[in-house]
């Protein structure tokens, strides 16, 4: 394990340890690797698993910006993951990749200073869909021997497919009204038929008394699609009695919201760390 300092603003610089490119599946390959950033000292730190965006077709665990330094400065272990992409694998396979990475974290993170009973899942864009689905359709994590009670919270950042059929219908209607050609690889092609779209939508797995963790849903205030999907997910959670908060980021956009997370003066970051402090420090509901 090596000690590193990331090239970030001085306010964010703090000693941390980093171990990179750890396989969470065999045979090892670049799309099924994760990194572990941890405070340089101590043990039993809560853990955040980060799932990058990129339309389920691109992106990397390397694209973390300020987050490793910001999370470790707050006393958390930060674990960004890679996963395989469509069309090489199915969307369900991608979800299983993310679940397998969480399974690795639960089984191994104590060796890296983390607490396997205090895990938060977080993702941006496509990663937000994956994080939200793992936290609501708990079959994926249970298949990796991750108990529900160890998932203490979910932070979904500007996702547009918590209800995939609704988003696909909205996008199709917009495209037809504007007389635009169909996309070569749009959401419908990625998510599959209507039944598959429903199965891969977090809102369809929300129900009371299932041990679903609290949610923080961050979205761009003036982004029509992600705002609508944020409200759709929040409403489903609220109706089921699951604690959920929406935060609409003003003067931002889809890329900026993600890139600014970790900056101390960023309002979405302040909402994020208020949420993590609350959910990760509560006693287990088990």
Write the pLDDT tens digit of every residue in 93-130. Answer: 999 999 999 999 999 999 999 999 999 999 999 999 99
- Report the number of distinct structural domains present in the chain: 1
Q: For position 156, what pLDDT does the model report? A: 98
Is 286 a member of any domain? no
Over the stretch 127-145, which tens digit does the pLDDT of each residue have? 999 999 999 999 999 999 9
pLDDT exceeds cutoff 70 at 13:
no
Is 103 a member of any domain? yes
Is 285 a member of any domain? no
Q: What are the helix (H) ranges across the chain? A: 67-73, 91-108, 126-136, 139-143, 164-177, 187-191, 194-199, 224-239, 254-260, 267-280
Is 264 a member of any domain? yes
What percent of the chain has pLDDT above 90? 90
Q: Which of 80, 16, 28, 92 is nearest to 51 (CA)?
A: 80
Over the stretch 189-242, which tens digit does the pLDDT of each residue have? 999 999 999 999 999 999 999 999 999 999 999 999 999 999 999 999 999 999
pLDDT exceeds cutoff 90 at 2:
no
| Residue listed under structure tokens 């340089």 | 40
Is 241 a member of any domain? yes
CATH number of the domain to which 197 belongs = 3.40.50.1820
Is 127 a member of any domain? yes
Model confidence at 283, pLDDT cuts 50, 70, 90, reads confident
Q: For position 6, what pLDDT does the model report? A: 37
Over the stretch 20-67, which tens digit does the pLDDT of each residue have? 999 999 999 999 999 999 999 999 999 999 999 999 999 999 999 999
pLDDT exceeds cutoff 80 at 15:
no
This prediction has a pTM of: 0.93
pLDDT exceeds cutoff 80 at 14:
no
Over the stretch 166-187, which tens digit does the pLDDT of each residue have? 999 999 999 899 999 988 899 9
Over the stretch 147-163, which tens digit does the pLDDT of each residue have? 999 999 999 999 999 99
pLDDT exceeds cutoff 70 at 1:
no
> With b meaning 16 or more CB within 10 Å and e meaning fewer, what string describes 94-117?
bbbbbbbbbbbbbeebeebbbbbb
Is 47 a member of any domain? yes
Q: For position 182, what pLDDT does the model report? A: 86
Q: For position 247, what pLDDT does the model report? A: 98
Can you tell me the distance from the alpha carbon of 229 to that of 227, in angstroms, rounded to the nearest whole number?
5
Can you tell me the distance from the alpha carbon of 286 to that of 272, in angstroms, rounded to the nearest whole number?
24
Can you tell me the distance from the alpha carbon of 79 to that of 72, in angstroms, rounded to the nearest whole number?
10
What is the domain range of residue 236? 2-280
- Is residue 193 packed enough to be buried (19+ CB in 10 Å), middle (13-18) or exposed (0-12)? exposed
Over the stretch 63-81, which tens digit does the pLDDT of each residue have? 999 999 999 999 999 999 9
CB 114 within 8 Å of CB 152 = no
pLDDT exceeds cutoff 80 at 12:
no
């Amino acid at each position: 394990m090596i000690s590193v300092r990331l090239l970030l603003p001085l306010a964010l610089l703090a000693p941390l340890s980093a171990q990179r490119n750890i396989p969470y599946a065999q045979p090892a390959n670049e799309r099924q690797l994760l990194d572990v950033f941890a405070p340089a000292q101590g043990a039993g730190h809560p853990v955040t698993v980060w799932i990058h965006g990129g339309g389920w077709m691109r992106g990397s665990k390397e694209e973390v910006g300020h987050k490793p330094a910001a999370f470790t400065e707050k006393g958390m272990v930060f674990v960004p993951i890679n996963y395989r992409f469509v069309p090489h694998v199915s969307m369900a396979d991608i979800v299983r990749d993310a679940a397998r990475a969480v399974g690795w974290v639960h089984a191994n993170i104590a060796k890296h200073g983390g607490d396997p009973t205090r895990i938060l899942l977080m993702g941006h864009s496509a990663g937000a869909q994956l994080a939200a689905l793992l936290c609501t359709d708990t079959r994926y994590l249970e298949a990796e021997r991750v108990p529900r009670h160890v998932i203490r919270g979910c932070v979904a950042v500007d996702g547009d497919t918590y209800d995939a059929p609704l988003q696909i219908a909205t996008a199709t209607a917009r495209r037809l009204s504007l007389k635009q050609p169909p996309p070569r690889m749009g959401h419908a092609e990625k998510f599959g038929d209507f039944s598959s779209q429903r199965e891969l939508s977090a809102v369809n797995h929300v129900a009371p008394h299932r041990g679903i963790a609290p949610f923080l849903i961050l979205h761009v205030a003036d982004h029509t699609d992600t705002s609508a999907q944020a409200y759709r997910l929040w409403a489903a959670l609220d109706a089921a009695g699951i604690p959920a908060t929406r935060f609409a980021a003003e003067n931002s956009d889809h890329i900026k919201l993600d890139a600014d997370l970790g900056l101390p003066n960023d309002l979405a970051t302040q909402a994020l760390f208020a949420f993590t402090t609350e959910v990760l420090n509560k006693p287990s509901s088990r």
